[in-house]
Every structure is written in C-alpha cells, then in structure tokens.
Amino acid sequence: MKTLTVANQKGGVGKTTLVVHLAHHAAEQGLRVLVVDLDSQRNASSSLQTYALPQLQSQMLFGEAPIAWPVTAMEPHIDLLEGGAKLVEIDRAPVQVINAFLKNMASAPGSYDLCLIDTPPVPGLRTQAALIFADAAVAPIDLDQYALDGIKSLLQTVTGIKSKYNAKLDFLGMLPSRFNTHSPAQRRGLTDLLAGYPKFVLPAAIALRSSIGEAAAERLPVWKIGKTAAKEAGKEIRQALDLILNRMGVSHGA
C-alpha cells in the first residue's frame, strides 16, 4: 500500500476536493483505496459517507487498542475511516499518540493499493503523524497572497519531517488549486510561485469552477455531473490526478 498525505497549514485550499476526487479516480482505475479523514470538520467523510467502514473512526488510530480492521474486498473499491469532532483532542495529547497511529496504520490490510490521508489546516500532531507515515505528500495551494505567505512554513514542516522522521517521504510538490484564470492577481501569484519555488510546484492546476462545488453537494466526482462545464472540469482534474498517481508509482489495477 502506498500512502499519500494531502496537507496544507491553511484551510479552504482544496485538500478535500483533491482527496475525494483522487479516491474516485483511483478506484475507477482499478485500485483498492483507503481514505483516512483526520480533519474534525469531516468534509471528506461527508462526501464519501457511503464508503464508511462500520464502527471505525480515524481517531481510533491514535489509541492504544489495536484497530480491528475488517476483511476488505479484492475488487476496486473505496473504504473510509471517517473523521469526528474528537479529533481536535489529538493535537493536545502526548506525542506518543503518533506511535500508536503509525502502528495501527501499519496493520491496515495488505489488500489496499492506495491510502489517502486528509489532514486538518493546522501543523499539529495529526498532520505530523500523517506525514511521518506517508510515502508521498502533496500540498494544494490557493494563489491568494495569504496562502503564498505561508509557503515557507509549509515547506519547513515537510522537509523537517523528512529529515528527522521519514526519509522515504517524497514531497510531490504544491498543486495550484481553486485557480481563477480570469484574475490578474492570481495569474501573478502563479508566476511568482513558479519563479520562487520551481522545484516544488506540480505542472498542473485545478481551476476554480462552480461545477466542482455542485459535485461536492451531490457527493459525486465532478466528471459524473451531466454538464459540459463539469466534463471539462473533470478532464482537467483527472490530468492532475494521473500526474500524482504516476509520480507515486501506483500502477492501475495493482
């Protein structure tokens, strides 16, 4: 199982949109996918509620009791460990809860090909644990000035985890998200991002489109919304998703 952590220390940048669409896309490509929602706002859990594993929540990963993972199907599918309000308590817990998380995640069934971890918009223990366990990480980023101002802190967090705790962590890069192509300020922001961090930006972007919001409301990936604009958005976002899967070395139908 390859694990991707989706992280950013700012909210509203498209983390959950990326996780949900990547889960659907990977399953459609023949992969068995586990989604772990570590955000107490549980937006990923709301979108993927149909796939929730019964009697299991992601906060249990930080407990001393081993997780009783169910036997999972071998055909392509999505399983969800949903988030909950009590997750906020994890960031105030002793640092040893990270060890419990690592142990419980390592015990996940080997039938999964891909694990996707959605993280909260804070650099606490939940995000640290997710990065320490991950094989790869990606950071969706808004192109407004406040988001751009936080890039240095984001990169320090990721590189710090890699150097101290997880040498295998591959930071795939920042993914421009919610990109308003009609905004001169955002176009300048993208130019500045590419100029300042050329090695840390994925060569893809997810534009700001109303159809993505409509898809979230219907709990569907955008390419399943029957509108021309949604199909265009789906084509665009699938290009970014394929890029991420390819860079992780996750084969279709593994």
Domain contains 48: yes
Structure tokens at 57: 């929540």
Q: How remote is the C-alpha of 74 from its chain's centroid? A: 23
Confirm whether pTM is higher than 0.75. yes
Within a 10 A sphere around the Cβ of 215, how many other Cβ atoms? 26
Domain contains 182: yes
Residues 6 or more apart in contact with residue 152 via CB below 8 angstroms: none
Contact indicator for 26, 14 with CB cutoff of 8 Å: no
pLDDT of residue 253: 52
Structure tokens at 187: 């176009």
Contact indicator for 18, 7 with CB cutoff of 8 Å: no
The CA distance from 104 to 74, in Å, is 21
Residues 6 or more apart in contact with residue 201 via CB below 8 angstroms: 173, 174, 176, 193, 194
Structure tokens at 200: 């840390």
Domain contains 204: yes
Nearest to 162 by CA among 200, 133, 192: 133
Domain contains 253: no
The CA distance from 1 to 214, in Å, is 32
Nearest to 126 by CA among 102, 143, 109: 102
Domain contains 254: no
* Containing structural domain, residue 124: 2-248
Domain harbouring 139, CATH code? 3.40.50.300
The CA-atom distances, in angstroms, between 147 and each of 41, 78, 166, 200 are 20, 31, 26, 15
Eight-class DSSP state of 163: H
The CA distance from 147 to 151, in Å, is 7
Domain contains 153: yes
Domain contains 199: yes
- Sign of the Cα torsion 145, 5, 21, 242 reads positive
The CA distance from 196 to 145, in Å, is 14
Structure tokens at 69: 């993972």
Within a 10 A sphere around the Cβ of 191, how many other Cβ atoms? 11
Domain contains 55: yes
> What string of pLDDT tens digits covers the 254 residues of the chain?
999 999 988 777 789 999 999 999 999 999 999 999 999 999 999 999 999 999 899 999 999 999 999 887 777 899 999 999 999 999 999 999 999 999 999 999 988 999 999 999 888 999 999 999 999 999 998 877 666 667 788 888 999 999 999 999 999 999 988 788 788 888 888 888 888 888 888 998 888 888 888 888 888 899 988 777 788 888 889 999 999 999 999 866 54
Domain count across the chain: 1
Q: Within a 13 Å sphere around the CA of 13, how many CA atoms are in the beta-carbon half?
A: 29
Q: Is 73 exposed, middle or buried (0-12, 13-18, 19+ CB in 10 A)?
A: exposed
Eight-class DSSP state of 42: -
- Sign of the Cα torsion 244, 79, 162, 148 reads positive
